[in-house]
Amino acid sequence: DVKVTQSSRYLVKRTGEKVFLECVQDMDHENMFWYRQDPGLGLRLIYFSYDVKMKEKGDIPEGYSVSREKKERFSLILESASTNQTSMYLCASSPRSWDNQPQHFGDGTRLSIL
Amino acid sequence: AQKITQTQPGMFVQEKEAVTLDCTYDTSDQSYGLFWYKQPSSGEMIFLIYQGSYDEQNATEGRYSLNFQKARKSANLVISASQLGDSAMYFCAMGDISNFGNEKLTFGTGTRLTIIP
């Protein structure tokens, strides 16, 4: 079974802090994704990566950066956290494929910025 | 650009009845894939069913089926004989399969389904 593990289920940080959200997958997937989920807005893609050290901006990259130094690990970084970044963050992975493969998700991190 | 529209923010359905969750999409891509995910209150996203744009048959997975109408650009999820455990958020999503290496998905805003005993 594919396992995507996010380092924290709940996280509380202060405005201006640098925040790291970690995600690890154990299925040797090439693709990894970070989404944020807000009520009424669904899931919105922040960044994705299709290879080590490669990254592509998603729909809402402002205020975020990412790091992928190893294939299994994809980190989301809030450079200077702000209250409007309070949200649920979901990490996902999938294999590279001509035929869409489903993305496998972690359990999510509910982040509160005070 | 791809767009997914789910027009039902919430639905209440009696247990054991069939449920149809609506999803319409907009894309200029010739080849694409459509997914449905379930998100229970615990938060994890569970993949339910997939339909490729080139598939002539509607996809089925147990009690889930996808009513795919390509000309109308709709991909509705049908759940037969609903159960209390079906209460959850349901998301429709689409991806572009004409472009290798571009496997990102576009999600709709979701439908919250509540099954009434």
pLDDT of residue B101 exceeding 60, the answer is no
Q: What is the pLDDT of residue B102?
A: 58
- Which candidate, A79, A74, A43, places its Cα nearest to that of A60? A43
Average pLDDT, stretch A45-58? Answer: 92
Residues near B104 by beta carbon (within 8 Å), at least 6 away in sequence: A33, A45, A48, A56, A58, B95
Average pLDDT, stretch A28-54? Answer: 93
In the chain, the amino acid numbered A28 is D
Q: What is the pLDDT of residue A2?
A: 66
Q: What is the pLDDT of residue A98?
A: 62
A70-113 per-position pLDDT tens digit: 999 999 999 999 999 999 999 999 988 766 678 999 999 999 99
Burial level of A68, CB count in 10 A (0-12/13-18/19+)?
Answer: buried
> For A98, which DSSP code?
S
Residues near B116 by beta carbon (within 8 Å), at least 6 away in sequence: B12, B13, B14, B15
Dist. CA A18–CA A88, nearest whole Å: 17
User: Which of B103, B106, B109, B112 has the most A C-beta neighbours within 10 Å, making it the best mutation to test the interface with A?
Assistant: B103
The answer to whether the CB atoms of B52 and A105 lie below 8 A apart is no
**Alpha carbon separation from A38 to A83, A90, B36 (Å, rounded):** 13, 11, 18
The answer to whether the CB atoms of A99 and B105 lie below 8 A apart is no
B69-84 per-position pLDDT tens digit: 999 999 999 999 999 9
User: Tokens 């299709």 sit at which residue?
Assistant: A50
The answer to whether the CB atoms of A105 and B33 lie below 8 A apart is no
Of residues B89 and B53, more confidently modeled: B89
The answer to whether the CB atoms of B108 and A42 lie below 8 A apart is yes
**Alpha carbon separation from A68 to A106, B2, B33, B99, B111 (Å, rounded):** 17, 27, 27, 22, 33
Question: For residue B103, what pLDDT band results from cuts at 50, 70 and 90?
Answer: confident
Contacts of A87 in chain B (CB under 8 A): none
Q: Which residues pair with A44 in a beta bridge?
A: A36
